[in-house]
Structure 1
Amino acid sequence: MSRDIDVLVLGGAGVDTIVYVPALPLPYADSYMIDSGIRTRAGQTGDFVAVGLGALGLNTHHLDFLGDDPEGDLVRALHRDRGIALTAVPQPAGTKRAVNLVGPDARRLSLYDTSRAHPDDRLPPDTLRPLAEASRHVHVSITHPCAHALPLLRGTGATLSTDLHDWDGENPYHEPFALAADVVFLSAAALTDPEHTLRDIAARGRADVVVATAGAEGAYLLTDDELTHIPPVAPPAPVIDSNGAGDAFAAAFLFGRLTGEPPHRCALYGAVAGAHACTVRSTETDAITRDALLARVGSAR
């Protein structure tokens, strides 16, 4: 079977409205003057992973629901401009959207509009199966339709990854994703015992690699039953925004994995890409390139 697509990114397409606020949590007031502007741009988790993979030279395809609306047009334009193939399943409820409040310390609070989906949304098997079968790897966003796609994906022979984001290690919604993937990413932000959660995922699921990112503290990598702390990488410019750092980490880690690098080097790739993302304002989309990644990895040794 020919697998011409390096990575199929499943789900996570949408738009974010970015608001830089003077503090988080935001104290109540009748109004705030937002001098930096309130801006809507294409890009949610799947979009950012796809853009990151494309910037690193991997042949990437993105599949998700999109509405016939201005927000959907922004997502289509992002993929067209970045040369990323996009298959959009029509979504009558409209394109997914969110509002991200970003504080002066680069932290983010996201407000997700859950009205842009239906409980019975399913990715069409006749669309999904041939794309997955043509892919070396599938990165799965934790959206409702993607959960229903997991059994089909496991039968295609492609390896799987997922990002559980700020999972607390207990919410049952995330478990099907955690247990079906070969590579699992998550944030340590809501974990009381990161090592326990990583080992639990590996013990009960299929993952041979589990990674918990920990912001300025670096990351934790579990592979071959060994837990390793991955130190943070100094950003190449001032940190202004943490939006997209986890997606950048995942994209660079997968780049390393698909080019034959061992897990610890993949994690270093992820740390470098995540640090780069923290220097980019949320209103922009500027993924690290392959040349820049490899150069910064060389200098980070």
Structure 2
Amino acid sequence: MSDASVFIAGPASWNQIVLLDRLPDPVPHMQFAEESWETLGGTSAGKALSLRGLGRTLLLYAAAGDDDAGRQVRAALETADVPVHWARSAETERHLNLMTRRGARVSLYLSSPAAQSDRDDAALQAAMKASEVIVLDLAAEPQRLLPLATATGRSIWVDVHDYDGTAEFHRPFLAAADVVFCNADRLDDPLAFLHGCIAAGASLAVCTLGAEGAVAVDAHGVEHRVAAVPVEVVDANGAGDAFFAGVLDARLAGHPVPESLAAGAWAASAVLRSRHLHPLLDPHLG
């Protein structure tokens, strides 16, 4: 494994996107899709693509099976020149995402890889130790890697997505995190949650607010806000991952929190204009 400034562990998937004028009501009915297409998915793949687009060196650690979906996932990341250490899985992660243009989403997980054995742990830990930042996304295998990542002493960034403040699965990630990202979808009081992360030892906590931008709390308890960049939205998948990547890239470059949040907003705006996780995929996936 070559040295990279960012090590990312987590999902890369093959997704079917169904664009609707509204999310379905929970009753039997018929509804027409505005559009549908297949594309690369997965929060870790999204972060890796955006970091690659920003010129950052990275290594993505993800799982894929020897199936059609796995071949499509590997080909998409290869065409975007994203370095990947692949774990073998019985099947590739697949999602059916019901979306609206405003970013509302229901993700149906059709398959999801389990945690791996410890066969590659020495090489994975060496790659983590050689990086400046370790990103561990919410999945069984990154959860297994938490003790190895913590032992490296490197900064750990986590994205707990639509955390509700109580779910048990997220807690080990939060306990290990130096930097925490989330969205406001299921938090009653996002600012209180961010301040709680800082009180628990994080150096930065960020909550994305969709069209309202994002809010962050730094290590001194100071609150920062950034507006979203106005853009005609084609597809909202991957925008949060792009925001994360933009902030991470700017922080690694030594920029303060306000400028880093602005970099995240601009990175997200580029992805919102694409029907894929990143414009890097546009020439290859159409």
Give TM-score scaled by structure 1 length. 0.86
Q: Which shifted more, 157-166 or 97-106?
A: 97-106
Distance 1:264 1:83 in 2: 30
Alignment correspondent of 2:9: 10
Counterpart residue identity of residue 44, structure 1: G
Secondary structure of 1:195's aligned partner: helix
Alignment correspondent of 2:20: 21
Asked whether 1:209 is paired with 2:204, we answer yes
Mark the runs of 5 or more structure 1 residues left unpaired by the alignment: 289-301
Deviations 1:66-119 (A, max 9, x none): 111111111211221111111111112x01111111124332211113x4333x
Alignment correspondent of 1:291: none
How big is the shift at 1:146? 0.9
Asked whether 1:186 is paired with 2:182, we answer yes
How big is the shift at 1:213? 0.7
Alignment correspondent of 1:96: 93
* Pairing of 1:145-156 with structure 2 (within 5 A): 145-156=141-152
Alignment correspondent of 2:83: 85
How big is the shift at 1:27? 6.9
Mark the runs of 5 or more structure 2 residues left unpaired by the alignment: 282-286
Distance 1:227 1:16 in 2: 38
Alignment correspondent of 1:196: 192
Structure 1 runs, 4 residues or longer, greater than 6 Å off: none
How big is the shift at 1:33? 4.5
How big is the shift at 1:226? 2.5
Alignment correspondent of 2:47: 49
**1:57–1:251 Cα change, 3 Å:** same
Secondary structure of 1:138's aligned partner: strand
Secondary structure of 2:279's aligned partner: coil
Counterpart residue identity of residue 90, structure 1: R
Distance 1:233 1:197 in 2: 21
* Pairing of 1:51-66 with structure 2 (within 5 A): 51-66=49-64
**Which one of 100, 105, 119 corresponds to residue 102 of structure 2?**
105
Q: Which shifted more, 210-219 or 98-107?
A: 98-107
**1:168–1:284 Cα change, 3 Å:** closer
RMSD over equivalenced CA pairs, Å:
2.1
* Pairing of 1:113-262 with structure 2 (within 5 A): 113=110, 115-118=111-114, 121-122=116-117, 124-204=120-200, 206-235=201-230, 237-262=231-256
Deviations 1:215-254 (A, max 9, x none): 112211111333424131332x312332111100000001
**Which one of 256, 259, 264 corresponds to residue 265 of structure 1?**
259
How big is the shift at 1:133? 1.8
Contact 1:106 1:240 in 2 (8 A): no
Paired-residue identity, %: 32
Distance 2:128 2:155 in 1: 10
Give TM-score scaled by structure 2 length. 0.90
Deviations 1:5-34 (A, max 9, x none): 111110121111101123213575665444
Counterpart residue identity of residue 154, structure 2: A
How big is the shift at 1:286? 1.2
Secondary structure of 1:155's aligned partner: helix
Distance 2:199 2:142 in 1: 23
How big is the shift at 1:173? 1.2
Distance 1:82 1:278 in 2: 18
Secondary structure of 1:71's aligned partner: helix
* Pairing of 1:260-299 with structure 2 (within 5 A): 260-281=254-275, 283=276, 285-286=278-279
Counterpart residue identity of residue 253, structure 1: V
Deviations 1:134-192 (A, max 9, x none): 21111111111211211111112321101000001111211111121111100011111
Distance 2:66 2:188 in 1: 42
Contact 1:245 1:274 in 2 (8 A): yes
Distance 1:97 1:77 in 2: 15
Distance 1:110 1:232 in 2: 26
